[in-house]
A and B are shown apart, each in its own frame.
Chain A
Amino acid sequence: MSGAESTAGVRVGRRTEAAATATVERKRPPVRPGRIVLHAFLALTALAFLFPLLYAVFTSLRSYADTAARGYLSFPRELTLENFAKAWRTGDIPLHFLNTVVVVLPSLVLILLLSSFVAFGLSRYRIPGRRILLVVFTAGNLLPQQILLTPLYQLYQLIDDSDFMYDRGWYVYDSYWGVIAIHVAFQIGFCTFVLANYMQALPEELTESALVDGASAWRQYWGITLPLCRPPLAALATLEFTWLYNDFLWALVLMSSGDKRPITSALNNLRGQFFVDNNMLAAGSLIIALPTIVVYFLLQRHFIRGLTLGATKG
């Protein structure tokens, strides 16, 4: 299996040129041979992209003893789920999954709620400087996170050193709230941008007629605008879930206790335990990747819409 795969990998390079020339030479009517080359090229490329994951599945199902004795490219003598059990225990996976839930769910709710507030305000009221505000939100989300890192780390320390926090035994550094706060602050930029665009495109008569009927701002927002925004909200929820789940940096830097870290950041502590045994590494990686893969298969449409909403609608 793997042998065929890798020759496929070599072939992909040549196919690229073949397909490129095919596109150049072929004029409007689709010629049969060109179509076949195109199919072959795309199928091989798709397979090459799936290959690392398929190989991970293959490796994760084999016992270490089997691969140690006969190599990773041999035909498996037996398949086992033992590596998954081992990775689950070694990596303290349930604990870190729970941390992920504790960080991701509140962040997600707050991000969508707060950004829809701003988007509603900016698209429905003539707030002075609203364009500048929109730029501030949008541009902030494009900053590389490392730019904020040092001051943010210091800011959290300073807050914790204040008498107010100290007397109450509260702290933001090394806390779930600290990580949630930066997730919310950073991600509302992107969501505000997408939602404001969407709300601006909604017919203004909708809220105007509600206004005439005497509906409060809250009713215009909650009762009229938000239900109409279900498509972008679904897209953003899917996309943001994946981004928050995949966050590595914030929890790594803003938390010092390894056992508080969400699953993705915990990967850094798991490295030493996992890297000695490729079978367990494969199983562990798949367990951790599974939630986003499941979301991808179930909600692919929303995921793609989320990305392209942000990118193609100015």
Chain B
Amino acid sequence: MAADSQLIARQPHKPKLAVWKFTSCDGCQLSLLDCEDELLLLGQEVEIAYFMEASSKVEEGPYDISLVEGSITTPADLLRIQEVRRQSNFLVCIGACATAGGIQALRNFADVVEFTSAVYAEPIYIKTLKDSTPISAHVPVDFELQGCPINKLQLLEVISAFLNRRAPQVSAHSVCIECKLKNNICVWVAHGTPCMGPVTHAGCGALCPSYNRGCYACYGPKENPNGESLCHWWEEKLGADRSTVIENMRNYNGLAPHFKAVSEEKERGQKGKS
């Protein structure tokens, strides 16, 4: 194949990688540091130009690839994400917080003022937004890598894809397929364990079912999920109550559009019933 002059990897300078943190636990950035075997190699391929958790050296933008972790929860974040977008050629969101608001988006379904006073004696000092929102609610993003936490091998694949200007190969099918590939016995069919696997995005390697527990959807919704049907089965066949069903849609990816819609529909149904 003829050399492609567009490849970032063939630029005269090393491509610049930046890693940004918004509201999060740092677990997804850490997945990069957990690449023990590949980290030093990656360091030879790209210039780690901005990565506050790992380096006190800060290089000015623009950056070829920005990895963004965390959700937007403060007035300062709103401004900072615009600046990150301006400085970035490609912007890739990593993790449930950046792609779906994260666990802290549970506040969106509650009263944040009450939350603040529940945790702080002097809520007046605390500057926080009413909602926790994904990055895509504020700026255009080039790719979203789901997971709480993300899978480090998928992260390396995504970085490699953007360096070489090709589409990332990240399967969009469900955890069920991963289970079958691992020859797991289905925890739902065999043991009646409620499992979010049928609607959940692949990437973890069907971890929970491999440990005899139901999937709790930490990778967010798969492509074209049917959450309504899943809820129906949970309620009708497994006897789960509605609040449990809502809780399972609303955990680490509660703002992912499909999960949000299903949980709100259920909530309306619940209210209608009472």
A and B held together in a complex: no
